[in-house]
């Protein structure tokens, strides 16, 4: 039986999340809507209500402070003023080449964008040192590595992207002051070589492999990405928590044959995973996946999935404290929903499946995607405004192909810089599995989706439908086994 404290910690983390999301998505004024709930909670349990109210306020304050900091920077007076500024900054993300745009019959060429942390600003001969994130866009097709330091001139504009202070449109050429360190160069070479051998595989099957293994989506076409989204498989187009979990489990299994001490195995596993994080880039989504996998590993070590609920609560709080904008990120909601679904729902679903499938191991494997996707459905509907009846079947069908691609792909990524021929053979051996995922996505995308409302209304419809489905399944199972 789950301890009450476990759920209380999870609810406190959810309150912190709700406070940050409310301020980030709407306004801090809407926090007053929580007052009736707070008043009811005080009448129910004053001590718990006090903690929840503090968590709600704390989450809202974290988001408000970050908003204030980004809106009141040294470049704020120059936003949308078309005044030329010069910036020196450190590149934080791989540059992404966009798509050409058709504006009133004129084809606007594709631009390259990258996330940059500013170091110094120069305006009319006056230099100021300031550190905050900006989004840079340039007509150059640049290939900077994260960690590189650049200098360029341009104009700052306001942007809808809330994680950055402004959009910096480069005029002229950017100057590379110095490149990334040896760690960044090594990681960049691993990604580049692995992308090269994957492109030789060809087609969407080849493009999917570097995305699934290293989070490199540069080979994936827009049409393929939309197809995966329609099929409910978009989480496979980039690195997710499942990839980390599979890799960690595979490493632990291999280490048991050569390392006796369990603590040493865990230490080696952590070092390898840290290297993996550097290669796939420590972006918010990757850090989120890392923390969520830590929760899953803790559950396995302690031998109880329900005992990991407090760890999940700590993970939610930690990520929001580190970056309050995670509270408004759809990927964050999907990660939490999938992790919570597996922790809470895998065992009951596996037990229910065992009534009809007398293969315990198969029931466990089927229960994982079912538990994860059931809680993700309301979030997916809120984001996209559509529901595909093929989402759950598709995830179950592709599940056996994910582990071999992840494990063999990781080995290929490590070997390719040293022996590209053997690395290519390893990647080529995974083409049947990758082709299977692409084929499932292609067939599933042909099935019409159900159009629903986005936002809170869509989430409510999805949650109600999942609850009704669970009640119907439980009722019919109960009648059938009477």
Burial bucket for residue 196 (CB in 10 Å: 0-12, 13-18, 19+): middle
63 and 86 both lie in a single domain: no
For 357-366, how does the pLDDT look when each residue is reduced to its tens digit (9 = 90+)?
777 777 777 7
Residue where one domain finishes, among candidates 145, 163, 180: 180
Domain boundary among 180, 203, 220: 180
Same domain, 158 and 56: no
Element of type H or E holding 86: strand 85-91
Are 99 and 217 in a shared domain? Answer: no
What count of residues does the chain have? 482
Helix-strand-coil split of the chain, %, nearest 5: 65, 10, 25
Residues ≥6 apart with Cβ < 8 Å to 392: 232, 369, 370, 373, 374
CATH number for the domain harbouring residue 140: 2.40.50.140
| pLDDT at 480 (0 to 100) | 44
Please check whether residue 246 is in contact with residue 407, taking contact to mean a CB–CB distance below 8 angstroms.
yes
Sign, CA dihedral 41-43-44-49, equals: positive
**Do residue 205 and residue 83 come from a single domain?**
no
> Are residues 170 and 39 both part of a single domain?
no
> How many structural domains is the chain composed of?
3
Residues spanned by the domain of 127? 76-180
CB 268 within 8 A of CB 255: yes
Domain co-membership, 266 together with 352: yes
pLDDT for the residue numbered 153: 93
The percent of residues above 70 in pLDDT, for the chain, comes to 80
Task: Give me the mean pLDDT over the 134-147 stretch.
Answer: 88
Which among 71, 91, 116 is the end of a domain?
71
- pLDDT on residue 429: 92
Contact (CB, 8 A) for 347 and 299? no
Looking at the fold, whether 327 and 441 belong to one and the same domain comes out as yes
**Do 330 and 456 share a structural domain?**
yes
Averaged over 450-477, what is the pLDDT?
A: 61
SS3 143: coil
User: What's the CA gap between 194 and 205, in Å, rounded?
Assistant: 14
Sequence-distant (≥ 6) Cβ neighbours of residue 304 within 8 angstroms? none
Predicted TM-score (pTM) above 0.85:
no
- Cα–Cα distance measured from residue 289 to residue 277, given in angstroms and rounded to the nearest whole number: 10
Burial of 403 (0-12, 13-18, 19+ CB in 10 A): middle
The whole-number average pLDDT for the span 198-204 is 88
Cα Rg for the chain, rounded, in angstroms? 24
Contact (CB, 8 A) for 132 and 69: yes
């Amino acid at each position: 039986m789950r301890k009450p404290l476990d759920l209380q910690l999870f609810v406190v983390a959810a309150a912190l999340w709700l406070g940050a999301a409310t301020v980030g998505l709407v306004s801090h004024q809407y926090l007053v809507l929580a007052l009736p709930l707070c008043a009811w909670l005080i009448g129910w349990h004053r001590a718990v209500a006090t903690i929840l109210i503090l968590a709600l306020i704390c989450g809202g304050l974290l988001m408000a402070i970050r908003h204030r900091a980004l809106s009141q920077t040294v470049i704020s007076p120059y936003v949308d003023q078309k005044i030329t500024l010069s910036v020196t900054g450190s590149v934080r993300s791989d540059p992404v080449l966009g798509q050409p745009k058709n504006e009133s019959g004129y084809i606007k060429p594709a631009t390259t964008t990258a996330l940059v942390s500013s170091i110094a600003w120069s305006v009319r001969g006056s230099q100021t040192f300031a550190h905050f994130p900006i989004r840079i866009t340039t007509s150059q097709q640049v290939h900077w590595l994260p960690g590189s330091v650049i200098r360029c001139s341009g104009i700052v504009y306001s942007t809808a992207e809330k994680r950055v202070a402004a959009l910096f449109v480069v005029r002229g050429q950017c100057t590379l002051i110095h490149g990334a360190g040896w760690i960044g160069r090594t990681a960049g070479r691993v990604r580049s070589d692995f992308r090269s051998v994957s492109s030789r595989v060809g087609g969407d099957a080849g493009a999917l492999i570097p995305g699934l293994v290293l989070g490199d989506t540069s080979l994936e076409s827009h049409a393929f990405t939309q197809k995966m989204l329609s099929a409910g498989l978009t989480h496979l187009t980039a690195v997710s928590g499942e990839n980390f979990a599979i890799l960690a489990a595979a490493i632990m299994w291999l280490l048991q044959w050569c390392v006796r001490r369990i603590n040493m195995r865990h230490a080696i596993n952590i070092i390898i995973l840290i290297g993996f994080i550097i290669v796939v880039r420590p972006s918010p989504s990757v850090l989120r996946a890392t923390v969520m996998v830590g929760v899953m590993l803790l559950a396995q070590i302690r031998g109880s999935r329900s005992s990991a609920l407090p760890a999940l609560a700590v993970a939610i709080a930690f990520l929001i404290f580190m970056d309050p904008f995670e509270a408004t990120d759809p990927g964050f909601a999907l990660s939490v929903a999938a992790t919570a679904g597996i922790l809470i729902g895998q065992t009951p679903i596996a037990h229910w499946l065992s009534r009809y499938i007398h293969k315990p191991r198969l029931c466990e494997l089927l229960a994982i995607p079912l538990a994860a996707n059931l809680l993700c459905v309301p979030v997916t509907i809120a984001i996209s405004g559509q529901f595909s009846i093929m989402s759950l079947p598709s995830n179950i069908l592709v599940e056996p192909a994910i582990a071999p691609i992840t494990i063999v792909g990781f080995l290929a990524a490590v070997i390719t810089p040293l022996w590209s021929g053997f690395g290519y053979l390893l990647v080529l051996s995974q083409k049947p599995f990758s082709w299977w995922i692409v084929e499932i996505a292609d067939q599933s995308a042909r099935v019409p989706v159900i159009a629903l409302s986005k936002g809170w209304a869509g989430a409510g419809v999805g949650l109600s439908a999942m609850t009704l489905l669970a009640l119907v399944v439980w009722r019919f199972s109960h009648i059938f086994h009477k």
